[in-house]
Amino acid sequence: MSKDKSDVSRVVWESGLEVKPVYGPAELEASGGYGRVGVPGEHPYTRGIHPTMYRGRPWTMRQYSGFGTAEETRERFLFLIKNGQTGLNVAFDLPTQNGYDSDHPMAQGEVGRVGMAVDTLADMEIAFDGIDLAKISTSLTINGSAVPIMAMYFAMAKKRGYALKDLRGTAQNDILKEFIGRGTWIFPVDDSVRLVGDTMEFCAKQAPKYSPVSVCGYHVRESGANPAQEMAYGLAIACAYLEHVMARGLSVDEVAPGLSFNFDIHGNIWEQVAKFRAGRRLFATIMKDRYGAKDPRSMQLRMIAGGGGGGLTVQQPENNIMRGAYYALISALSGTQTMALCCFDEAYTIPSERAAKLSLRTMQILMTEMGLCDTVDPLGGSWFVESMTNEMERQIQQILATLEGGAGIVAAVREGRVQAEVNRGAWERERKIESGEVKKVGVNCFVEEEEQRDVALHPYREEEAARQVQRLKRIRETRDAAAVERTLAELRKVAAAKQNVMPATIDAVEAYATVGELCGVLREVYGEFKEPVGSWR
């Protein structure tokens, strides 16, 4: 690698910001000063969204989990709760995420493999049986098929006697990022955004404590974006959903409190810290200045953070335990509301009980032994951290300016421009790891020749998949066929009229219509997304 000698001492973050060797008052002043730091719990929330942060409200611990059938998943939920987990985060299998029933040809070999299989309300009822939904809040990691899955969660809660108006929880339901990375899209871009709008409108009116959307910079970062792009695209996506529902006549303060975020952690510790502080400040500023928000909750960037799969390695997998612990530390120092860590074996397999518990214990150790909850934003006021927060804010703003608001990102995703940008980023990063410019322990330095990769693999049980298909068939035979037909016809009607599909979907899931039937109706009405494959490189 030929490098100019004067470059040797340069430190440049992935986002393109250059770091000086020492920071003091002059450097901070040059970056913009302390002016916009503010007070915790007050606009612009640089230091955190609550006045006392973890003193008053420790972060929620919510490991991503689910596999096989609802019965197996429920067992893992109970195991995690027994070990002190304070929230749930459901993984669904790929047929469920893509809107197919477990007996669809495309589902072959995939049923229950990367998450819990859900075909009907019955699966949701089994998974949460005996779990108090008022005590344990649940996050549903579901996107393309979010409408039927959220409807099933709501129907299950109603059946158990919980009022929707008091129900807490989150759905990931960020479809725009699925087009950028992760890929569980089903319908065309504009119809998909309208479905997200339907869930936001429904929750604003019927389930105001439920967060219908968790905007994921996370997967955009995992797909190749740098941290500044991650935050910029995340904020732009949030604006897109917000503008969509505001065009229906809802006010910013009716819907913005339902927005939450999911961000990535891997990479340079200080760059992540600056990203979160700058992102919080920008979100508050945009909500207030651009959309006229008055409710403080509309301006508070609430987030889940701690994961960073892209930072973990298949080489020397135990090293991922340490990485997870550092990521947890960064999230706590960055003021996250909820934490979920990638397990050390996750580059190989569905996490084992042992690995999931280690992640949980990592968070518990941090919370109880290390003093992370002692005081608010302990990094606040550092010349370095505040300078880089200022610089990061400008960097994110510059990227946002190129997107020209919420409509801009929808068009950029539809045309594959964001995809092309992150693909380029992924390639550049890979090249830097290959060349050794970016160092990864166990990958391009401190490599072990005869490595023992001793990771126990999660068994995939064919008989559980068969059991799922049996249950689906039994339900199809025993349910009230006329009610299913009637409610699906109603869904077809409201979807074609571009009315809110949530009430009709809830009626249909209560009649035990399947995920595949519900998404099938929407596929008929909207068609399917045609991937702009040309943007792959």
Partner 1 sequence: MSQSKERAAIKVLIAKPGLDGHDVGAKLVGRALAEAGMTVCYSGLKRSPEQIAERAAAEGVDVVGLSIMSGAHLPLAQGALSALQARGLSHLPLVVGGVIPEKDREPLLALGVAAVFPVGTPFEEIVKAIEGLVGDAKGGRTAR
Q: Which residues bind partner 1 (CB under 8 A)?
A: 94-95, 97-98, 100, 105-110, 113-114, 178, 181-185, 222-224, 313-315, 347-350, 423, 426-427, 430, 434, 443, 453, 457, 460, 531, 533, 536-537
Rounded to the nearest whole angstrom, what is the least distance from the CB of residue 376 to partner 1 in the complex?
37
Distances from the Cα of 93 to the Cαs of 115, 272, 520, in angstroms?
A: 4, 30, 18
Distances from the Cα of 142 to the Cαs of 191, 213, 285, 530, in angstroms?
A: 17, 10, 29, 20
Determine contact, residues 91/116, Cβ cutoff 8 Å.
yes
In one-letter notation, the amino acid at residue 365 is I
Rounded to the nearest whole angstrom, what is the least distance from the CB of residue 21 to partner 1 in the complex?
34
Residue number, 167 or 418, with CB nearest to partner 1: 418
Residue number, 101 or 377, with CB nearest to partner 1: 101
Rounded to the nearest whole angstrom, what is the least distance from the CB of residue 98 to partner 1 in the complex?
5
Determine contact, residues 376/40, Cβ cutoff 8 Å.
yes
User: Helix/strand/coil (H, E, C) string of 510-529?
Assistant: HCCCCHHHHHHHHHHHHCCC
- How is residue 198 written in tokens? 């339907």
Rounded to the nearest whole angstrom, what is the least distance from the CB of residue 94 to partner 1 in the complex?
4
DSSP 533: G
Residue number, 39 or 443, with CB nearest to partner 1: 443
Residue number, 14 or 393, with CB nearest to partner 1: 14
Rounded to the nearest whole angstrom, what is the least distance from the CB of residue 211 to partner 1 in the complex?
23
In 3D, which of 513, 524, 505 has the Cα closest to residue 483?
513
Please tell me the chain's helix, strand, coil percentages from 3-state DSSP, rounded to the nearest 5: 55, 10, 40
Residue number, 172 or 315, with CB nearest to partner 1: 315
Q: Please report how many Cα atoms fall inside a 13 Å half-sphere around the Cα of residue 62, on the Cβ side.
A: 25
Residue number, 187 or 512, with CB nearest to partner 1: 187
In 3D, which of 168, 256, 146, 148 has the Cα closest to residue 204?
256
- State the Cα–Cα distance between residues 281 and 300, nearest whole angstrom: 9
- How is residue 240 written in tokens? 């897109």
Only one residue has tokens 């065009």, namely 247
Rounded to the nearest whole angstrom, what is the least distance from the CB of residue 368 to partner 1 in the complex?
34
326: alpha, beta or left? (left if phi > 0; alpha if psi -120 to 50):
alpha
- State the Cα–Cα distance between residues 235 and 229, nearest whole angstrom: 10
In 3D, which of 379, 274, 273, 368 has the Cα closest to residue 327?
273
Residue number, 54 or 185, with CB nearest to partner 1: 185
Residue number, 183 or 378, with CB nearest to partner 1: 183
Residue number, 73 or 223, with CB nearest to partner 1: 223
Residue number, 427 or 446, with CB nearest to partner 1: 427
- State the Cα–Cα distance between residues 168 and 322, nearest whole angstrom: 32
- How is residue 404 written in tokens? 């020209």
Rounded to the nearest whole angstrom, what is the least distance from the CB of residue 223 to partner 1 in the complex?
6
Rounded to the nearest whole angstrom, what is the least distance from the CB of residue 180 to partner 1 in the complex?
11
DSSP 164: G
Instruction: Kindly tell me the sign of the dihedral angle through the C-alpha atoms of 158, 161, 164, 170.
Output: negative
- How is residue 499 written in tokens? 């009315």
Only one residue has tokens 């529902």, namely 245
Rounded to the nearest whole angstrom, what is the least distance from the CB of residue 228 to partner 1 in the complex?
19
Rounded to the nearest whole angstrom, what is the least distance from the CB of residue 409 to partner 1 in the complex?
19
Residue number, 446 or 536, with CB nearest to partner 1: 536
Rounded to the nearest whole angstrom, what is the least distance from the CB of residue 456 to partner 1 in the complex?
11
Determine contact, residues 71/95, Cβ cutoff 8 Å.
no
- State the Cα–Cα distance between residues 475 and 89, nearest whole angstrom: 26
Residue number, 82 or 530, with CB nearest to partner 1: 530
Rounded to the nearest whole angstrom, what is the least distance from the CB of residue 273 to partner 1 in the complex?
25
- State the Cα–Cα distance between residues 513 and 151, nearest whole angstrom: 11
Only one residue has tokens 């928000």, namely 293
